[in-house]
């Protein structure tokens, strides 16, 4: 899924692959390039599936990476006892819901200091992706709600998973891909236009945004 310069979300590709491997992702990204996506996205949002990121940086080396905060939050909480999860979740929300990158990094440091001694695995889970958790601050603030997570894709595939579970498989590979494609096309009809779509042209021009605000020329 991607958004065009008018803010409309569009289905770009559906393909099958092997365990989200680098090879599978490279094949998909190269197919997009072959079909006309000559210029890579300005920002790619996804979970921690390493195959995607390796392939992305090979095919579209200029594209910046943004880890999905919903996935990251779930992964961190999974490494904490249930009794600590509510408080920790509030600390995590403070990182990516604050108005500036400096404040977000202070919240990050606070989380590390609070949980490092007793829950090092949770802190390591957060720390390993530090460099790719905060790039959204370099984009328009009105876009943040869209680019901090990969939820639009997850919600679409929730419908797909429900249907494939009920049908207990669809027969051939072609039949399965066709069904998934049709379901995704139906879901696309409900996708909402990006907020602040008028600013996308500035993003494509690689104008500088600091904490979501356009930096004025000196």
- Residues 62-105: pLDDT tens digits? 999 999 999 999 999 999 999 999 999 999 999 999 999 999 99
Q: Rounded distance, CA 181 to CA 168, Å?
A: 17
> Minimal CA–CA distance to 28: which of 17, 38, 19?
17
* Lookup: tokens for 1: 């899924």
Quick count: other Cβ atoms within 10 Å of Cβ 195? 15
For the full predicted model, state whether its pTM sits above 0.75. Answer: yes
Q: Rounded distance, CA 13 to CA 174, Å?
A: 15
| pLDDT at residue 28, rounded to an integer | 92
* Lookup: tokens for 198: 């008028």
Q: Rounded distance, CA 193 to CA 195, Å?
A: 6
Confidence of residue 168 (pLDDT cuts 50, 70, 90): low
| pLDDT at residue 217, rounded to an integer | 65
Residue 25 in this model has a pLDDT that exceeds 70: yes
Q: Rounded distance, CA 71 to CA 42, Å?
A: 21
| pLDDT at residue 109, rounded to an integer | 98
CA-CA-CA-CA torsion for 35, 41, 47, 48, nearest 10 degrees?
Answer: 90
Mean pLDDT of 181-204: 90
DSSP 193: P
Residue with the larger pLDDT of the pair 134 and 14: 134
DSSP 39: S
Mean pLDDT of 202-210: 94
């Amino acid at each position: 899924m991607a958004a065009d310069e008018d803010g409309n979300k569009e289905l770009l590709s559906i393909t099958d692959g092997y365990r989200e491997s680098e090879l599978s992702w490279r094949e998909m990204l190269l197919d997009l390039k072959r079909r006309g996506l000559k210029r890579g996205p300005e920002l790619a949002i996804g979970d921690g599936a390493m195959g995607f990121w390796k392939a992305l940086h090979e095919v579209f080396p200029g594209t910046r990476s943004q880890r999905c905060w919903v996935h990251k939050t779930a992964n961190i909480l999974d490494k904490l006892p249930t009794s600590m999860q509510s408080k920790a979740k509030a600390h995590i929300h403070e990182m990516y819901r604050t108005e500036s990158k400096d404040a977000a990094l202070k919240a990050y440091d606070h989380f590390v200091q609070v949980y490092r001694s007793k829950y090092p695995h949770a802190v390591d889970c957060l720390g390993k992706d530090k460099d790719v958790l905060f790039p959204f601050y370099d984009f328009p603030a009105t876009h943040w709600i869209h680019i901090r997570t990969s939820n639009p894709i997850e919600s679409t595939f929730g419908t797909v998973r429900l249907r494939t579970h009920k049908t207990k498989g669809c027969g051939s590979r072609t039949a399965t891909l066709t069904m998934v494609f049709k379901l995704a096309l139906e879901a696309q009809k409900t996708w909402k236009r990006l907020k602040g779509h008028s600013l996308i042209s500035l993003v494509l021009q690689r104008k500088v945004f600091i904490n979501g605000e356009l930096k004025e020329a000196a």
